[in-house]
Amino acid sequence: MSTPRRRVLAVFLLGMIAGGALTAAAAAAQVERVSLQRDLFLRTAREQRQQLDQMRTQLEEFQTRPSIESVELHLVNLGEERSGTALALQEKLQPLGNPLIGKMLDEVDPSLLKNIFHERRVMHNETEFELAVQTIIVAPTTHFHLLVGDD
């Protein structure tokens, strides 16, 4: 082989080796970056899976614990002749009991429930009525039995 051919072949081989080395170095940097991203994604996925499992457990606990679904008010000693007054008073008082809906039964303190209605004064048709809590039944349908007195 002649010298110019050898030189061309040597330059060609040198170019191939240099190109391969540079390509390998660039690819190695990309592989390292992709590997780090994959590790980050796997760690994030594992943490998210743990949080999801924890939330599922909490949801199961929440679903199995009974809560207050409704509040019923029973106005005592108004009599049948004042049923219209009783309905009007119930409409005025019902919004006071509505915030209890959704509360877990084991988190509700019956002694505090009494304070919602006990000794409350309500006006209707220029008459003031005073309420006194007679009984409270804390259950999914919570009942308040309220004594109503005219002032």
**Mean pLDDT in the chain?**
84
Which token pair is 20? 């391969």
Nearest to 93 by CA among 133, 126, 140, 66: 133
Which token pair is 28? 């190695």
pLDDT band per the 50, 70, 90 thresholds, residue 79? low
pLDDT score at 42? 94
Query: Over the range 44-77, which residues count as b (16 or more CB within 10 Å of their CB) and which as e?
Result: eeeeeeeeeeeeeeeeeeeeeeebbeebebebee
Percentage of the chain modeled with pLDDT above 90: 14
CB of 75 closer than 8 Å to CB of 150: no
* pLDDT tens profile 110-145: 788 888 888 888 888 888 888 888 888 888 888 999
pLDDT score at 81? 58
Assess whether pLDDT exceeds 60 at residue 43.
Answer: yes
Which token pair is 15? 């170019």
